[in-house]
Amino acid sequence: MISNRFLNATDFLGFASSLSPLENEVKDTLRSKLYQKRYCKGELILESGTICKRICFIDSGLVKTFFYTDTREFIMRFFAEGNMFTVFDSFISQRPSAYGIMALEDTVITCLNYNDLEMLCQQHHVIETFYRKLLSMAAVNMMDRIGSNLEEKAHVAYHRFLKAHGMLLQRLSLADVASYLGITQVSLSRIRAMK
């Protein structure tokens, strides 16, 4: 049984331990593979078309994963401090990513490379457990999103977003929220106008 509510980690190791308790020696091994990176607001963390080599914990800041069509941008997900992100399809397959990642605020992340994670998974069962549970959480989140994408009219989706991610709202532009919801910024503006 896994739920975001129990996760309040402030760093990568804490996050991992909360999913799968790690003995100190495993922690040390894992720590030795981690590295930190800093990005400025607006900077690309991953360019679409390149391979996503790392999985990251957000120490501070805010990030979006997104993609473009000819005419519009769409946002897959926002990630704020205390959460982990990667572009799973590229990370898992180690093939070029259809998605990009961008820092929406000045952001500090702690990263672990694909090869290191795979190696650690083989060496330490508890790390594979951590990774498995992380994937489980991601899967549940994605199911939710698929369901609501199918079901909901834009104004319903917006109010659900408010409920689920309301605390992010003041940190996001209208345009980004709209891209997340799959509607235009103009439509979102109208939705907010009524009631």
Positions that interact with DNA (CB under 7 A): 71-72, 153-155, 173-175, 182-193
H/E segment holding residue 135: helix 125-151
C-alpha closest to that of 7 among 107, 59, 61, 82: 82
Our finding on whether 69 is near a second copy (CB under 8 A) is yes
| Nearer residue to DNA within complex by CB, 104 or 109 | 104
In the Cβ-directed half-sphere of 83, how many Cα atoms lie within 13 Å?
18
Q: How far apart are CA 132 and CA 11, in angstroms?
A: 19
Using CB under 8 A, which of 12, 85, 88, 161 touches a second copy?
A: 88
Our finding on whether 67 is near a second copy (CB under 8 A) is yes
| Nearer residue to DNA within complex by CB, 37 or 72 | 72
Q: How far apart are CA 63 and CA 65, in angstroms?
A: 7
| Nearer residue to DNA within complex by CB, 1 or 167 | 167
Our finding on whether 113 is near a second copy (CB under 8 A) is no
Strand order in the sheet with 107-113: 35-39, 107-113, 54-60, 84-85
| Nearer residue to DNA within complex by CB, 134 or 188 | 188
H/E segment holding residue 137: helix 125-151
Min. distance of Cβ 19 from a second copy in angstroms? 12
Site for a second copy in 120-179 (CB under 8 A): 121, 125, 128-129, 131-132, 135-136, 138-140, 142-147, 149-151
Stretch that binds a second copy, among 10-18, 41-49, 94-102, 169-177 (CB under 8 A): 94-102
C-alpha closest to that of 49 among 62, 36, 33, 68: 68
Our finding on whether 182 is near a second copy (CB under 8 A) is yes
Task: Return the C-alpha torsion angle 183, 187, 193, 194, nearest 10.
Answer: -80
Q: How far apart are CA 51 and CA 47, in angstroms?
A: 8
Residues contributing to the site for a second copy (CB under 8 A): 1-3, 67, 69, 74, 76, 88-89, 92-95, 98-99, 121, 125, 128-129, 131-132, 135-136, 138-140, 142-147, 149-151, 182
